[in-house]
Structure 1
Amino acid sequence: MATHEQLNQEAIKTVNDLIKDIEVAMFTTVSEGKLVSRPLQTQEADFDGTLWFLTLKDTVKYEEIQQNPNVNIAYAGKSYVSVSGTAEFSEDMERKKEYWSPVFDKLLETTVDDPNVVLIKVTAETAEYWEAGKPMKMAKKFVKKLTTDESLGGDNELNKTVDFDSSN
């Protein structure tokens, strides 16, 4: 029987495989009780349980995360992945330099050494994914749902939820 740690590593690998080719995610924060999403480019090439983003301190999202660090990151591509977690800010200059590209000079209208530049580190708590890259399998499931009493909801072979909390 697999240990929790082995299952956790499998889940991390699965999520990594599903999001590795999706550069831009929808980053959702909580603002005055409402959910607000905006596109952000994921900076870490390999998902290891954390996700990294660059932003500026003088933005609304920075204030929203300070007020409520609970966030959701949604990826859409050949599959769909929703990662829920907790955000925190990092001033790690080496990591900023590693993630910085000349595009950010223009896009953010600043340079990497600007003290307004900050990293957002999201520690994943759960992820839910749908393997949309299997259209025939999905079509069969929908036809079966339409013609029987079978449910599509919950954890089935097309939709999985994984928990990254190692204390369980």
Structure 2
Amino acid sequence: MAAENVEKLHALLRTLDTVMVTTVDDQNRLISRPMALRMGDFGGTLFFLAPTNSRIISHIAARSAVNISFTSANSSVSLTGTADFTTNYNSVAEHWHSMLAPWLPRGTTGAALIEVTIDEARFWSVPHGSTGATGA
């Protein structure tokens, strides 16, 4: 991604706590789920934590293509990327934060770090002065 787009995407992502991550299941169906997002430095890769025995991990193990999306009153973003994961304790611990405790009550034990390298980003902005979205 061009540096300007990386900066724009980082500015948008910094305002978010949660995004939707979509994977492909074993029957080629798209499955989305909310995932907690905590932004630090951003160079085109996003990180998430999930239980090692979760469906998102099994989906990524079988098919690495993912989509990450969000929408707000002012903008929408759809990101396509390639996901991988690790159960390495040090990697998981490096990305752990307390907002994950409700979903990962055992902390870093039994957690996997998902790393998504962004391949493409699409942005949409609400025109200034618009009162809402239009479309079918």
| Both proteins in one fold, TM over 0.5 | yes
Residue 67 (structure 1) aligns with: 62
Residue 4 (structure 2) aligns with: 10
Residue 53 (structure 2) aligns with: 58
Residue 91 of structure 1, aligned match among 65, 70, 87? 87
Number of equivalenced pairs: 131
Task: Give the drift of 1:93.
Answer: 3.3
Q: Which amino acid aligns with 2:79?
A: V
**Is this contact kept in 2: 1:84–1:125, CA < 8 A?**
yes
Flag the structure with higher strand content. Answer: 2
**Is this contact kept in 1: 2:52–2:87, CA < 8 A?**
no
Q: Distance in 1 between matches of 2:24 and 2:76?
A: 21
Deviation per CA, 1:4-48, whole angstroms, max 9, x where unpaired?
Answer: xxx711111111112211110000000121111000012333331
Question: 1:1-168 maps to which residues of 2 (within 5 A)?
Answer: 8-31=2-25, 32-77=27-72, 78-112=74-108, 114=109, 116-132=110-126, 134-136=127-129
Unaligned runs of 5+ in 1: 1-6, 143-168
Q: Equivalent residue of 2:68, what SS?
A: strand
**Is this contact kept in 1: 2:45–2:118, CA < 8 A?**
yes
Q: Distance in 1 between matches of 2:98 and 2:10?
A: 26
- What TM-score does the superposition give when structure 2 sets the normalisation length? 0.84
Tell me the C-alpha RMSD between the 2 structures: 2.2
Unaligned runs of 5+ in 2: none
